Amino acid sequence: MTSPHIHSPIGHAPTDLHTRSLHLAAEAYLAHMHPRAPLRLERVRLHDNGGVEYRSEPEAAALRLNRALAEEVVLVALAAGEAAHLSATSPRPPQRDARQLLATALSDPDELATLDAYLDVLRGRARARLRRAWTEVEVLAAGLREHGELDASQVAHRVACAQGIRSSLLN
């Protein structure tokens, strides 16, 4: 598995398929780790303009009433961009606009004034979570490249396997 903080050698640039699979896998991993309603996975598709499909969309009222939910939704929306940063690849356009989601969740004018700083903090959190779980992201990406699509149960199985292997190797 490639470490997220080590960049690829100059002569060995990752393929578009590899890059896209990493970005999708990062988003799928963080969504899997936060299984609340707007983050419940339906499936992840690599081909045919696929992406991460959720069972429902986040509701503005729910985001305003539940700060933890809003932060989790924004973290997941930031995942692909942060995976691009960690793997030194070009980011793909996000499926969900993290800035807009966070702005929707904030109702206090003072909070809205610090929107960019808040978004930077959440970017840091997303990057840290992905860095710690890069093995799981790589396993999901490999599954996407092999099968082209993973449903929620396949994502859960691959994450559990990667975590099991890591725990057995560290003990």
Contacts of 34 by beta carbon, 8 Å cutoff, 6+ apart: 72, 75, 76
Q: Residue written as tokens 């339906």?
A: 42
**Which pLDDT does position 12 carry in this prediction?**
37
pLDDT at 24: 96
Q: What is the pLDDT of residue 92?
A: 84
**In this predicted structure, what is the pLDDT of residue 166?**
82
Return the beta strands (E) in the chain as ranges: 41-45, 52-54, 149-151
Domains of the chain (ranges plus CATH)?
16-170 (1.20.58.760)
Q: Which of 153, 141, 149, 155 is nearest to 45 (CA)?
A: 149
pLDDT, residue 171, reads 65
pTM above 0.75, yes or no: yes
Q: Are 47 and 2 in contact (CB under 8 A)?
A: no
Q: Amino acid identity of 66?
A: N
DSSP H/E element including 137: helix 134-147
The pLDDT tens digits along the chain (171 residues) read: 444 433 333 333 346 899 999 999 999 999 999 988 899 999 999 988 889 999 999 999 999 999 999 999 999 999 999 999 999 998 888 889 999 999 999 988 999 999 999 999 999 999 999 999 999 999 999 999 999 999 999 999 999 999 998 888 776
Report residue 8 CA to chain centroid gap.
Answer: 21
How high is the pLDDT of residue 93?
85
Instruction: Report pLDDT for 7.
Output: 34
